[in-house]
Structure 1
Amino acid sequence: MRHFGTIIRWNDNRRFGAIREENMGKEIFAPLSAFTTLPHPPAEGQRVSFEIIKGRRGRDEAENICFASDCIGEADFFAPEPEPFKAAFSKLLWIIPVIALFAAGGWFGWNYWQEYRRQAQEATAAAPVTMVSEVAEKMKAERKAWKDAASGRTAFKHGSTASTGSAATTGTTTAFKCDGRQHCSQMNSLEEAEFFIKNCPNTKMDGDHDGIPCENDSRWH
């Protein structure tokens, strides 16, 4: 197979030089004895046609060298030079994997961002519901604690009243009677209110029906 190239160095005294092969860009050793014709001495910058063989030292050497202008009769002289399309295609072969790599990275990055946004939106939407639930639980616990405390005070008062003796209890109980009163503002004491909600009809002093009357009346609570 014949190749084409340009003489890049030549030493007349030592009778050898070097040729730069056009397709591979490889530097080939060229001895004077390898020239088939010598219409003029070899010189740098001259275009030549040649074959490549392995020399005695195992390196590539030019063989059957002729000047391009003198090789018109040989078919290989008309071998086309490297086409720009082929050069562009070879570049495209390594550009395509790079583009594919960037595209894959962009796709994974986009999916990650979408998943992050979705989780952030879900967390934001759940936050108000969680906050309302926490406030409701806190209010419920505070109300229960207040009722427990109120029940404790009432039990203490009932115990104190009972300790005065059965005669006193009987006297206090019989001191109240149902007379049509219904509201806390009409009561004179907590004991009277308790008597009314337990013994009299149509009272309106225990809205939550927990047995403790007039819970919002600051006179007794």
Structure 2
Amino acid sequence: MQKGILKRWMDDKGYGFITPADGSDDVFFHISSLKDAIRRPVERDIVYFDVIIDLTGQKRAVGVTIEGTKSVFTERKLVKPAPVAPRKNALKPQPHKARAYRHRNSSYRSIFSTIVIVALVVGFAVDKFKSREIAISRPSTVSEISYQVTEQPEIQAATKFTCEGKTRCTQMNSCEEAMFYLNNCPGSVTDGDNDGRPCEDQWCGH
């Protein structure tokens, strides 16, 4: 890299000529070859540059910098931050594993909550089904018992008695006979109050 002085500068046209410090011929300088500067060049600036020969055979200055006007941004690039020594036994952050662990815990909690809710719903449904089963079965059981209680004497009575034209309590010999005539024989007048029990004063009142 060479050092020189900007001898002539035509700012409106964006070019000028540099006189090298070694006394060689002037070198053409275009504004497009200026780098790392915070202002435009002016005559008498001390500059640093490299020289190339362009296609016309003319010397041309490239990579031109102006002394004392180096960009602060370029200087900052050259400053390397001091390395920080890692602490011993320092735990390395593992954000992905932490997120995966939290997600897994959240999934487990969601599955457990779902199982609990399903178990409660099933238990409630089973209780309701059993209650309904009991409610349905009870009337039939009671009706069967009442049927057995009411029907059995009639069957037994039917085997002992026959309709022989008796219609009044004075003609009966027992409560069973009075019940038989009331339930099986027409014309019976043994149940005056129509409560289903005949001859209450004579036979079925005790």
Answer with 1 or 2: which has the greater Rg. Answer: 2
TM-score (structure 2 length as normaliser): 0.39
Which of the two has greater helix per residue?
1
TM-score (structure 1 length as normaliser): 0.37
